[in-house]
Structure 1
Amino acid sequence: MKADRLLIDCHVATMVEGAGAYGAIPDAAVVIADGRIAWIGPRADLPTVQAVETERLDGRWITPGLVDCHTHLVFGGDRSGEFEQRLGGATYEQIARAGGGIVSSVKATRAASEDDLFASAMSRLEGLKATGVTTVEIKSGYGLDRETELKMLRVARRIGREGGVRVRTSYLGLHAIPPEHREDRAAYVDLAVDDMLPAAHAEGLVDAVDAYCEPIAFSIQEVSRLFDKARGLGLPVKLHADQLSNGGGAALAARHRALSADHIEHATEDGVAAMAAAGVVAVLLPGAFLMLRETQAPPIDLLRRHGVRMAVATDCNPGTSPVASMTAALNLACVQLRLTPEEALAGATREAARALALLDRIGTLEVGKAAELAVWNIARPAELAYWLGKPLLHRTYR
C-alpha cells in the first residue's frame, strides 16, 4: 500500500458508533493517502505500507478533527457593555427590547469592511483551531440588509479558503428586525425571504438556511415561509428553537425536516419526539446557557429517551456566548448539562458532522473519510472534557 503519511505509536478514538467506548483503538496506526484515511486499525494488523513520511506520536491520542456546528464567528465590535448590564440584573430580553442585543451588533457589522470582519473573525478562529477544530459553521445575521448579509457570507467563504478550516455557511436573515423596519416587519420579512436569500444563493454563498424563532424574534409563520423558500432553492434548514420559551420551535424544525434544532432549553416532550421521528439533531450550546445564567437546561433525559442525536457547539457570538474554545464547550456540556465525556466528544465530532450534513466526509475516523484529525497530549479521551483552559492539542491534520 502506498501512502503519503503513516501515523504510528498512537491511540485512536474513532468515534464510530457501536465500536465500544469512544470507538477506541489502542496502539493504533493510521494510513493517509490523497487526503483520505486509507487504513486504520491496530498497529499489529498494519499491512505493508510504502509511506512518504512516517510519524511516531509517542503514545498520543488521535480523534476526528472537532466540528463547531453553530457559530456567529463573523461580526463587528463586541457587546462587553451588555455583559456588564446582565451582571447588573438586566435580562437578555430587556436589553434586546431596549435596542441592544443583536441590533447593536448589526450597527457595528454594517460599519465594518470585509477586511475588518475577516481579521476579527480570524482572531476568534485561532481560539477554535487551538482547541482542535477543523470544521466551522458560520452564520450571517448581523447585517439584516442585502449588502451586509452578503458581505458576511463572503467573509465566511474567505475564511474557508484562507483560514485552514472547512467552513459551512448558514444564511440567518431572520435573526432580528433591523431598526429601519421596526414599524414594518412584514416588509423586512419580504426582503429577507424574497430578496436577500435568493441573492446570496445566486452567489453560491449559502450551504443552509437558519432562523431565530422566539417571541422577541420571528414567528412560526414567518419562519415557515423562509423555510419553504429555502427548500425551493434546494437548501437544507436549521433553527434557533425554544431557547427562551416554549414556542413550538422543536416541532417546527421537525415539520421542515431540519438538519438541527439548536438551544432547545424549553422544548417539550412532544417537540423532542417530533425531532426524533424526523431525524433532527439537537445542538446544545452550553456557552449561551452559562453566559445568560439560565436555569432551565435542555431536556437531556428526554433527548436520550427518544434517541435524539446531540451535538455540542460553542455558539461563538458577541452577545450571549463569547466562547472561542471547543474544549471549554465540552467541559460546560458535561458540568452544566450533564452529558458524559463520551457524549460530549461525540457531540463535537460525529453528531456535529451530522448536524451539518457532512457525516459522509468527516466526524469519525474511517477508511475513505477525509483525513481531518486532531492529535492530543492526553492519556485518555475524557480529558478533553475534564480540563478547562489547559492546552491539550499537539496538532491537527487537514
Structure 2
Amino acid sequence: MNRRQLWRGGHLVTLQEKQGWGLVPDGVLITEGDHLRWVGPLADLPPTLCQGLTAEHDLQGALVTPGLIDAHTHLVYGGERSAEFELRLQGASYEDIARAGGGIRSTVAATRAASEADLQVAADARARTLMAEGLTTLEVKSGYGLSLEEEAKCLRVARRLSSLGLTVRTTFLGAHALPPEFDGRADDYVDAVCAWMPRLRDEGLVDAVDAFCERIAFSPAQTRRVFETARQLGLPVKLHAEQLSDQGGAALAAEFQALSCDHLEFVSDDGIQAMARSGTVAMLLPGAFYFLRETRLPPVAALRAAGVPMALATDHNPGSSPGLSLLLMLNMACTFFRMTPEEALRGLTVYAARALGLPDRGQLVAGQRADFCVWDAAHPRELAYYFGRNPRRATVIGGRHAG
C-alpha cells in the first residue's frame, strides 16, 4: 500500500511556471508513495486528501524546493591531480598539460590501477558529500577507463551509487581521450568505442552517450560516428563542446537532438540557434570555468535571448572541477555568469532534469516525484547568496527522508 503523508507549514518554491519562483507561503505537500499527490496552500487543501494519512510532518516555516540534480559529473575515478593545479598556477595551460601526457591520461592510469571496490568507496564518499547539500538525482560519466573492461568497471560502480537512495543516470564517455595503447590511431579508437557500445547497453550500464569534441580530443567527424552508433542503439546523446575552441560541436549535438551540450564558452550564434531549434539544454559548468581560471564567459545573454534552457552542474572531476558543492555552483553561476538566482536554481532543478531526459522531477507539482529539500532560509535567493554555509535541514527522496 502506498504511504500517504502530509507535509505542512512549508514555504514552497514550486518553480511551476516558466518564470518566477512559484512561491506558496504556508504550503502543503501530500505525498503518496514516491510521488507528489497534491501541492498548494493550506487554505486550499481538500479535506478528503487528509483521510488515510500514514504520517504528518511539520516543516515549521522552512523553505522547500525541488530536490537538487547534478546532471554532469565524472564521479568515478582513481587518484587526484593537485600537482597539475600547481603547474597551472605557474603558467601551464590545460592543453599544455594534456599534450605532455598529463590531464585525463594520468587519471586513466590511476583508475585502471584501482580496484572496483576502492573506486566504489571513493565514489560513495563523493556522492554523500553532494547529498549533504540536497542532491536527489545524479548523473555519472565514465571516461577514465578507456577500454571495454575498465569502462564497464566504472559504469558498474556508478550504477551502485543508487544504493544510497539516489536516482543515478550513467553516461558512456568512451570518447573522452585517446588511451596510450591507441597513440596516433584516433580513428581506430573511435571504431573500438563504437564496438563497445552494444555490449555496455545490453548489460544495462548505459543511459546515454557523451563525447569530448575539442582540438585535444575528438574531431566533429569522429564524434559524429559515435553519435550515429548511439542513435542506432536507441541511446540519447550529449556533448562536451566549445569549451576551449569552437569546433561546431553545438550544431552537431543539436542535429542529433542531444539532451545537452556542455561547457559552451566558445559557442557561436549558429550553434545557439541550432540548440534553440532542437530543444537541447545548455549545460553551464562554473566550477570548471573558475578552476581553470578561464576568461571567456559562456554567452548567457545570447542563450537567454534565444530561449535555450540553461542547466548547471558541478562537473566534478579531478582535473578541471574538483568541487563537490552544489550550493557553490549556484553562487558561481550568479557571480561569474551573471545568471539570476532564479535562473541558477532552475538550472539545478527544472533544466537539470531536462538535461537527463527526466521530465518527472525538478518542480513541486502534483504528479512529479516526491524529491524535495527543506532549507533553513527565508527566501530561495539565499541559496545562491551564501557560500561556505549549508542551510539544508532535510532531504526527501521518493517520499522518504534521506537525511
TM-score (norm 2): 0.96
Conserved 8 A contact 2:127-2:161: no
Number of residue pairs the alignment of both structures matches: 393
Q: What's the CA shift for 1:21?
A: 2.2
Name the counterpart of 1:153. Answer: 155
Residues 236-281 of structure 1, C-alpha deviations (whole Å, 9 max, x = no match):
0000010000111111111111000000000011110110011110
Gaps in structure 2 of 5+ consecutive residues? 398-403
Amino acid at match of 1:39: W
Residue 225 (structure 1) aligns with: 225
Which residue is 2:88 aligned to? Answer: 86
The answer to whether 1:97 aligns with 2:99 is yes
State the alpha-carbon separation in 2 of the partners of residues 180 and 215 from structure 1: 20
Partner of 2:380: 381
Between the aligned partners of 2:155 and 2:81, the Cα distance in structure 1 is 21
1:287–1:332 Cα contact (<8 Å) kept:
yes
Whether the 8 Å CA contact 2:240–2:261 is kept in 1: the answer is yes
Offset of residue 183 of structure 1: 2.4
**Is the 1:3–1:31 contact (alpha carbons within 8 Å) kept by the matching residues of 2?**
no
One-letter amino acid of the structure 2 residue matched with residue 337 of structure 1: F
Unaligned runs of 5+ in 1: none
1:42 correspondence with 2:44:
no
Residue pair 1:68, 1:136 contacting (<8 A) in 2 also: yes
Correspondences of 1:188-267 after superposition (within 5 Å): 188-194=189-195, 196-267=196-267
Post-superposition, which runs of at least 4 consecutive aligned residues in structure 1 deviate over 4 A?
Answer: none
- Aligned partners of 1:310 and 1:351 also within 8 Å: yes
CA distance in 2 between counterparts of 1:131 and 1:249 reads 32
Within 2, Cα distance between the matches of 1:328 and 1:102? 24
Is 2:111–2:144's contact at 8 Å kept on the other side of the alignment?
Answer: yes
How much has 1:345 moved relative to structure 2? 0.2
1:283-303 CA deviation, whole Å, 9 max, x = no partner? 000000000000001000110
Q: Deviations over 1:158-195 (max 9, x none)?
A: 111x122110010000000001111222221111112x
Alignment partner, residue 62 of structure 2: 60
Aligned to 2:401: none
SS in 1 for 2:366: coil
Work out the CA distance in 2 between the residues paired with 1:35 and 1:214. 41
Contact 2:30/2:37 (<8 A) preserved? yes
Deviations 1:54-94 (A, max 9, x none): 11111001111000000001101111111111111110000
> Does the CA contact (< 8 Å) of 1:29 and 1:41 recur in 2?
yes
Q: Distance in 1 between the 2:185 and 2:56 partners?
A: 63
Shift of 1:126: 1.6
Q: TM-score, normalised by structure 1?
A: 0.97
Q: Following superposition of structure 1 onto structure 2, how do residues 168-207 of structure 1 map, counting pairs within 5 Å?
A: 168-194=169-195, 196-207=196-207
Residue aligning to 2:341: 341
**C-alpha contact 2:35 2:370 (8 A) present in aligned 1:** yes
- After superposition, the CA RMSD in angstroms is 1.0
Name the CA distance, whole Å, in 1 between partners of 2:373 and 2:244: 35
> Could you tell me how far apart the structure 2 residues matched to 1:182 and 1:383 are?
49
Partner of 2:22: 23
Residue by residue over 1:125-159, the C-alpha shift from the partner in whole angstroms, topping out at 9 and shown as x without a partner, is 12210111100000000000011100000011111
The answer as to whether partners of 1:281 and 1:311 remain within 8 angstroms in 2 is: yes
